[in-house]
Amino acid sequence: MHRRTSAATVCLYAALALGTLVMLVPLAWMLLTSLKTYPEILRNPPDWLPAAPQWQNYRTVWEGFAYYRYFLNSLFVAVMVIAGTVLTCCPAAYAFAYYEVRHKELIFGALLCTLMLPAQVTVIPLFKAFSALHWVNTYLPLIVPAWLGGNVFGIFLLRQFFRTIPPSFIEAARLDGASEWTILWRLVVPMSLPAVLTVVIFTFLWSWNDLFNPLVYLQSEELCTLPVGLLYFIARAEQLTGGSLGQTPWHLVMTLATIMVLPVVGLFAVFQRYFVEGVAASGVKG
């Protein structure tokens, strides 16, 4: 490697640090605001730090306004979606990786095309069908597609990974008399845990962050997931606080936003490698 001048190095790190500041200021402001009192958020010019961190804001939002319920709803949907994704994407990826069937590539290509399809394109007929089934205002429209291989990206990613497993492993297992089902769950999936984990993480992200589908399919407040709950919170904040505050209680809104963000940040902190690998893998073969 060539030695770079120290000036260039300083510039590089300065640029990176400045960029970091820009990236993190909104999140920092969110966190700081969530720890302030109502009079503090109105102060002009603004105080950066709260005089004393108001941790009870979190209790107010969580218990007082029963947002633990929305949290649990979000969690329930995410868990069901992840379970469905793993249970249907793994076999599908295995099938596309190891079996030779006529038109297999064509079918796979068709599946991949749906990655390009925005939800808005299919939502109207789906809404019509789910209404006819009386599934509107239940979680089924959010969950059932995942149980039918709805996560095509997952199938794609797993198939790529499965293909790196030497076929001799699988043939050996077959000779031992293991069934295909056993080979899939006892051999292939355990060998592909990083890929499975990546799929789980991304499925969680999509489910946790999704605003569009819950907005369309869930009507009553008790069913809502967090992103919808956040918007409802803003819309009815005046009422929640008994109308005693003149402005939107942004400190509480930011508290809720922080609660929503925390699981994602936590997962990211632990599994950063899988996040990055998942994204990079999606770019490998456009």
Partner 1 sequence: MTNRRAQSLWFWLFAGPAVAGFAAFSLWPMLESLWLSFCQYEVVTPPRFIGVQNYAYLFAHDASFWPSVKVTLVFTVIQLPLAIGAALALALLLNQPVRGRGFWRAVYFLPSILPQAVFAVVFGYIFQADGGLLNRLLALGGLHGAAWTTSPTWALPVLIGISLWGFGYPMVIFLGGLQNVPRELYEAAHIDGAGAWARFRHVTLPLISPVIFFNVVMGVIGALKVFDLAYAFSVAQAQPAPGGPARATLFYGLNLYQQAFGYFHMGLASAMAWLLFACILLITAVNFRVGRRWVHYGD
Partner 2 sequence: MPLRQREPLLWLTVVLLAVTGFWWAGRSREPRPAPGRTVISWYVITSPLRDLYTAEVAAFEKLHPGTEVRIFWVPGSEYNVKLKTLAAAHQLPDLFFSGDVWLSYLRPFSRDLTPLVQRDAAEFGLDDYFPAIRRAMQLDGKDYILPEYLNLSLLYYNRRMFAAAGLSEPAADWTWDDLVRAGQALTREGKDGSPPVWGCSRVEGWWGEWLIYVRQAGGKAFSPDGRRCLLDSPAAITGLKFYLEKSSRYHLSAPAGFEPLNGFVNQRVAMIVGGHVNYWLNYNQTPGLDWDVQLLPAGPASRSGGELAIAGYSISRESRHPEEAWALAKFLTRPEAIAAIVARGSLSVRRSVAEAALRQPGPRANPHNLAAAYRQFEFGEPIPHHPNYVEIMFLVVQPEIDRMLLGELSPAEAGRRAAAAANAFLDTFGSAAP
Pick the closest to residue 157 from 112, 190, 207 (CA basis): 112
Q: Is residue 267 part of the contact set for partner 2 (CB under 8 A)?
A: no
d(CA 69, CA 43): 32
Nearest 5°: the CA angle 257, 258, 261 is: 90
Beta carbon of residue 240, minimum distance to partner 2 (angstroms, whole number): 9
Instruction: Put residue 66 in one of left, alpha, beta given phi > 0 → left and psi -120 to 50 → alpha.
Output: left
286 touches, from partner 2, partner 1, none (C-beta below 5 to 8 Å by class):
partner 1
d(CA 119, CA 150): 12
d(CA 113, CA 286): 11
d(CA 207, CA 75): 9
Site for partner 2 in 47-106 (CB under 8 A): 76-77, 79-80, 83, 87
Considering the complex, state which of residue 56 and residue 114 has its C-beta at the smaller distance from partner 1.
114
> At a CB cut-off of 8 Å and minimum separation 6, what does 156 contact?
93, 112, 115
Beta carbon of residue 280, minimum distance to partner 1 (angstroms, whole number): 3
> At a CB cut-off of 8 Å and minimum separation 6, what does 180 contact?
94
Site for partner 2 in 173-192 (CB under 8 A): 173, 176-178, 182-183, 186-187
Site for partner 2 in 12-51 (CB under 8 A): 44
Per the structure block, which two tokens stand in for 120?
Answer: 């808005």
Could you say which DSSP state residue 135 is in? -
211 touches, from partner 1, partner 2, none (C-beta below 5 to 8 Å by class):
partner 1
Q: How far apart are the first and last CA of the chain?
A: 32
12 touches, from partner 1, partner 2, none (C-beta below 5 to 8 Å by class):
partner 1
134 touches, from partner 1, partner 2, none (C-beta below 5 to 8 Å by class):
partner 2
Considering the complex, state which of residue 77 and residue 152 has its C-beta at the smaller distance from partner 2.
77
188 touches, from partner 2, partner 1, none (C-beta below 5 to 8 Å by class):
none
Pick the closest to residue 86 from 165, 200, 164, 209 (CA basis): 200
Considering the complex, state which of residue 223 and residue 261 has its C-beta at the smaller distance from partner 2.
223
- Backbone φ and ψ of 134, nearest 5°: 60, 40
Beta carbon of residue 223, minimum distance to partner 2 (angstroms, whole number): 7
Considering the complex, state which of residue 157 and residue 254 has its C-beta at the smaller distance from partner 1.
254
Residue from 93, 152, 216, 252 that binds partner 2 (CB under 8 A)? 216
Binding site for partner 2 (CB under 8 A): 44, 76-77, 79-80, 83, 87, 127, 130-131, 134-140, 142-143, 173, 176-178, 182-183, 186-187, 216, 219-223, 232, 235-236, 238-239, 242-244, 246-248
